[in-house]
Amino acid sequence: MFSKSAIDLNKHNNQEIIYSTTVGVENLTTRVIGSALMIFSDLVLLLVLFVGLLFVNTSISLSIFLIFSLVALALNKYMKSTSYQLGIDEARLGVSSNENIVEALNSYRELVVKNRRSFYIEKITGLRMDLATVTAKKNFMPNLSKYAFEIALIIASFVIAGIQFALYNSSQAIASLAIFLAASTRIAPAILRIQQSTIYLSLGLGTVEKTLGMIDFARSGNHDNLISTEKSFDHRDFEASVDIQDLNFRYEKNGKFEIQNLNLKIAPGSQIAITGSSGAGKTTLVDLILGVFSNDYDSVKISGLTPLSAFSRWPGAVAYVPQNINIMNATIRENISQGYESDPADEERVWNSLRVAHLDEFVKSLPLGIDTYVGEFGNQLSGGQRQRLGIARALFTSPKLLILDEATSALDGETESLISQTIKELKGNCTVILIAHRLSSVMNADKVIFMDNGKITAEGTFSEVRELSLEFEKQVKLMGIAANN
């Protein structure tokens, strides 16, 4: 799954992926593979019993297999499509209900203000009730087979008894009936298990339909890029340069180009600010530099290699701070060292990262310090603290190339000023690419890149870009930045 590009992953919602890789895989092994093995073993048992009965009483053995096979076929014809559809409904309702629960929790404050919590309560309740109905039907179907076979056995016993007593003497009829009942007690359960396994198999195929598609989806990825490399803080051979030549990119094959004929060279140790209106292509450009859209895109080079090759050769040399920081339900220490096993030897490095991100004083005031749990999505922290924790995480590996995508957007003025000072202090030692709407964050960059409709329309110093781009100058005036900056 993680071998796929971000474009491919975005075609599937998170709950669908989670369901397919957890419940779906479990159903594949228990309901599908397990049921298939059960059917095979019982078919072997039936074959042995049938061959043995043929030598004892051919007519009785043929009667038993004919009766129970007809019952099984009739039940299978009725239940196969029904059970398959129940499996599909179970998967669909399970994913949908989980999606709505997550949506409701993530939108809790908005729902309180709108007084619309009842909307999700009713929606989730309805989905769970529908799922309960599907589950009840699913659980009843194997019992239906059991009752059908028991009724068939009783009726067949009376029919066999009637025929035997009508055609033969009492002793022979009783002997034949005894053989029938004795054989039925072994054959009927085996056929019943086959029937029930067939139901479970159909149910399983319905629930794992998405899972099988997800397995094919995951197999088509490039798994070579999943090989982990050792933790390293030494990037001495890494040149923190970015070279982009004739870059064209679109999300869909016949879609609109998001990036067009873009050329950009970023020298080691420089600080570049990329700005532009929403939809100009800034974040798309960052994603291409990060290599998350394609495993073999060669228009972008970092230290002379394609992004993923560079990350593999120099792990930790490049760091990224997204606009929305993903905070784990773990300790501050574990959040900063994300992706690495927690090591007490790295404590000094953790504290140094916090210091540079201006979060160390806050963490020192906590009773458990860096071993404090921050809650799911970091709900024990303020928005600015979450953002600074993300910056500290990025600095943990002492990167030589730091990419910040609107990373200061959630910070207050004072903290933004401190982070800006930190970025200044990195000059010469770390290449910084800063994506920002807030022009106050880009004024001190060595070079400002202004993008519009996937193209670079102006580049130079802050003052030079103001002269070259009317749109940039308009944004500067709206921000109220003095003309002499």
**pLDDT (0 to 100) of residue 413:** 72
Domain match, 172 and 310 both: no
Q: Which tokens in the block code for residue 215?
A: 């397995």
Mean of pLDDT values over 350-362: 89
Residue 181 lies in a domain: yes
Pair (197, 322) in one structural domain: no
What letter would DSSP give residue 41? H
Q: Read off the pLDDT of residues 160-183 as tens digits, 9 standing for 90 and up.
A: 778 777 777 777 778 777 877 777
Residue-level pLDDT at 263:
93
Please check whether residue 88 lies inside any domain of the structure.
Answer: yes
CB 290 within 8 A of CB 403: yes
Tokens at residue 61, please? 């053995």
> Would you say 145 and 196 are in contact if contact means Cβ atoms under 8 Å apart?
yes
144 and 270, same domain (yes or no): no
Helix crossing, 34-56 with 58-106: angle to 10°?
170
| Residue at 224 is within a domain | no
Q: What angle do CA 95, 130, 18 make, to 5 degrees?
A: 10
Which residue among 219, 254, 288 closes a domain?
Answer: 219
pLDDT tens across 23-46, in order? 777 778 877 888 888 888 888 887
Instruction: Identify the weakest region by mean pLDDT among 100-114, 269-283, 391-405.
Output: 100-114
As a whole number, mean pLDDT of residues 452-461 equals 91
Name the residue among 418, 401, 398, 402 with its Cα closest to residue 349: 398
174, 251: one domain: no
Instruction: Output DSSP code: residue 300.
Output: E
Residue 303 resides in a domain: yes
Give the C-alpha separation, 481 to 469, whole Å: 16
How are beta strands 455-460 and 401-405 bridged, if at all? Answer: unpaired
Instruction: Tell me the mean pLDDT in the region 425-429.
Output: 78
Predicted local distance difference test score (pLDDT) of residue 419: 74
Output the CA torsion 473→278→408→106 (10° steps).
Answer: 150
| pLDDT at 483 exceeding the cut of 70 | no
Residue 188 lies in a domain: yes
**How many structural domains comprise the chain?**
2
- Are 294 and 195 members of one domain? no
Answer whether residue 258 shows pLDDT above 80.
yes
Alpha-carbon span 238 to 447, nearest angstrom: 22
| Residue 302, domain extent | 242-479
Give the highest mean pLDDT range of 35-39, 107-111, 220-224: 35-39
Q: Is the pLDDT of residue 411 over 80?
A: no
**Which domain-ending residue is among 164, 187, 219?**
219
* 165 plus 260 within the same structural domain: no
As a whole number, the mean pLDDT across the chain is 80
Do 157 and 125 share a structural domain?
Answer: yes
**Alpha carbon separation from 88 to 91, 133, 213, 270 (Å, rounded):** 5, 13, 13, 55
In this prediction, residue 458 carries a pLDDT of 92
Decide if 391 contacts 418 (C-beta within 8 A).
no
Residue 208 above 80 pLDDT? no
- Residues 365-383 pLDDT 10s: 999 999 999 887 788 888 7
Q: pLDDT per residue over 299-349, tens digit each?
A: 899 999 988 888 888 888 999 888 888 888 889 998 898 877 777 778 889
Across 117-154, b (16+ Cβ under 10 Å) vs e yields eeebeebbeebeebbeebeebbeebbebbeebbeebbe
In terms of domains, do 180 and 286 share one? Answer: no
Q: Are residues 301 and 346 in the same domain?
A: yes
- Cα–Cα distance, 87 to 31 (Å, whole number): 11
234 occurs within a structural domain: no
Q: What is the distance of C-alpha 79 from the center of its chain?
A: 33
Q: Which CATH number does the domain housing residue 351 bear? A: 3.40.50.300
Q: Are residues 209 and 305 in the same domain?
A: no
| Assigned domain for 310 exists | yes
Q: Which of 162, 185, 219 delimits the end of a domain?
A: 219
CATH of the domain at 113: 1.20.1560.10
Identify whether 227 is part of a domain: no
Same domain, 77 and 200: yes
Same domain, 266 and 328: yes
- The sheet that has 259-266: what strands, in order across it? 259-266, 242-249, 300-302
Q: Where are the alpha helices (DSSP H) in 300-342?
A: 307-313, 332-336
